A and B are shown apart, each in its own frame.
Chain A
Amino acid sequence: MEITININGTDHTADVEPRWLLVDHIRTGAGLTGTHIGCDTTSCGVCTVLVDGTPVKSCTMLAVQADGREVTTVEGLKSADGLHPIQQAFSDEHGLQCGFCTPAMMLVGAALIDENPAPSDDEVRWAISGNLCRCTGYMNIVKAIQAAAAAAASSNGDG
């Protein structure tokens, strides 16, 4: 089946089998390996991407289901102006240890901040509750997401 998915602002057209998963399409088809595969059983959330802005597990969606949709992966966070506030905050707050869950955590964090510009501790923990960090570095992940929210709010205020 021929499908076209807009990934990080660029249309990718490919001929795929219906059983091909979105995560495989992103990693192997589009060559964007920032989206990771962890459990591959809908449990860990490291394959999270945004489909039309909503965080979903790309191991539990068929590539054909994303035909005509906009997908954002971690590679799409950075803009011409530099790092996304969430990326800068994960760096500043040491929001990662091994880094395996980080792309997913940053995407969930970015989607949360879009909806809720000043999330509380509990709201952040609730939002990332579908994403595992096996380094158990949750404290700094929560801090980083809140720092990114504060940074985004102050830059919006300046603008």
Chain B
Amino acid sequence: MLPARFDYVAASSVEEAIAAKAEGGDEARILAGGQSLLPMMKLRFATPSKLVDINRIDGLDAIRSHNGHWHVGALVRHADIAASGAVSGAVASAAPWIADPLVRNLGTMCGSVAHCDPEGDWNSVLLATGAEVVAQGPSGRRTIAIGDFVQDFFTNSLAEDEMVVALHIPVPSGRSGGSYQKLERKVGDYATVGVAAHLELAADGTISAAGVAMTSVAPINRKATDAEALLVGNAPSVELFAEAGEAAAAAADPRDDVRGSARWKRRVVAAFTRRALTAAAEQAQA
């Protein structure tokens, strides 16, 4: 299957890419890994008039640690993250479960985040860890909290003349841990349910910060804010995590589909939230 015709620009700098994208207006798309965009174009779900290929731009393929954040460039592939010894917590936990090995070799974290597919795993991880998206436009860069970036089903808050150049993910520090739990029917399928959890512990062992976010169970990746509120200020326990699991299940809004009934998916959210929190607490207490 061939995509519909489009103009193709291989940009050699971020500035050139932004200018080319701006020229194409809302029908222009950035091509990074292409592992979601090209399949959508082949099925004619997406028919951009222009593709701006950023794969030949230097300097976008590194993961750097700076000021307490991992800076993940726009050309860092899922496989790079999975192979990197530099990341930990929920990010390291999720990386091997993105799509399949072949897709991970080309697909990028920034591209997946910008795609805003509610069945994409990374946005849950970023919501749980409190990450930021770095967007660059003609007048410079701005950082956007992930909660403000993810607007709706396949909709982000980028302007037409902006592109995602990096993600800033807080490096877990002190007594902290994170985990991503994913149920998939087979490798490469969308998540039936995914839950990301991040915990930080105070000196007295109580939870000082908590992030919980869910994949595939709402129109967009959704933070389980009630569950987070329950956790903060309390000591980790089986009972607490079970209660947080129920709160997350209540916040989920799954649908009946080929992957299972809504009722069953809510139970999976409860169980996976409990498991993700347990794994996060074990790391934090280690």
A155 within 8 A of B: no
Q: Does B286 contact A (CB under 8 A)?
A: no
CB atoms of B38 and A60 under 8 A apart: yes
- What residue of chain A has the Cβ atom nearest to residue B9's Cβ? A18
Contacts of A150 in B (CB 8 A): none
Partner of B102, one of A24, A41, A57, A65: A57
B68 is an interface residue with CB less than 8 A from chain A: no
B31: chain A residues at CB < 8 Å are: 62, 65
**A55 & B101 in contact (Cβ 8 Å cutoff):** yes
Please tell me if A91 contacts chain B, counting CB pairs below 8 Å: no
B1, B3, B7, B105: which contacts A56 (Cβ < 8 A)?
A: B105
Please name all residues of chain A whose beta carbon is closer than 8 Å to the beta carbon of B55 when the two chains form the complex. 65
Interface flags, B202-244, vs A, CB<8A=1, else 0: 0000000000000000000000000000000000000000000
Residues of B within 8 A of A130 (CB): 99-103, 187-188
Specify which chain B residues have a CB less than 8 angstroms from the CB of A40 in the assembled complex.
1, 42
- Residue in A1, A41, A67 whose CB lies within 8 Å of B39: A41
B142 to chain A: closest CB distance in Å?
A: 29
Q: Complex: how many Å from CA A41 to CA B103?
A: 12
Number of interface residues of B (CB under 8 A): 29
Contact with A along B1-43 (1 / 0, CB 8 A): 1111111101000000000000000000001001100110111
Q: Would B3 and A57 count as touching, CB distance under 8 A?
A: no
**Does A120 belong to the interface (CB within 8 Å)?**
no
Interface residue total, chain A, C-beta cutoff 8 A: 30
The interface residues of chain B lying within 8 Å CB-to-CB of A65 are 31, 34, 53, 55
A129 touching B187 by the CB < 8 A rule?
A: yes
Residues 1 to 51 of chain A near chain B (Cβ within 8 Å) = 1, 17-21, 24, 40-43, 45, 48
- Given A45-B100, A130-B100, answer yes or no on A61-B106 (Cβ-Cβ < 8 Å): yes
Give the residues in chain A near B150, CB-CB below 8 Å.
Answer: none
A-facing mask of B85-108, CB < 8 A → 1, else 0? 000000000000001111101100
Chain A residues within 8 Å of B105, by CB:
54-56
Q: Which residue of B lies closest to A57 (CB)?
A: B102
Min C-beta distance of B227 to chain A, whole Å? 31
B51 within 8 A of A: yes
Q: Sample 26 A-B pairs with CB under 8 A, ordered by A number.
A: A18-B6, A18-B8, A19-B2, A19-B3, A24-B2, A40-B1, A41-B39, A41-B43, A42-B39, A43-B188, A55-B101, A55-B102, A55-B105, A56-B102, A60-B35, A60-B38, A60-B103, A61-B38, A61-B106, A62-B34, A62-B53, A64-B53, A67-B10, A129-B101, A129-B187, A131-B102
Kindly list 8 other residue pairs between chains A and B, CB separation below 8 angstroms, not including A19-B3, A126-B101. Answer: A18-B5, A19-B4, A19-B41, A41-B42, A57-B103, A60-B35, A65-B55, A130-B187
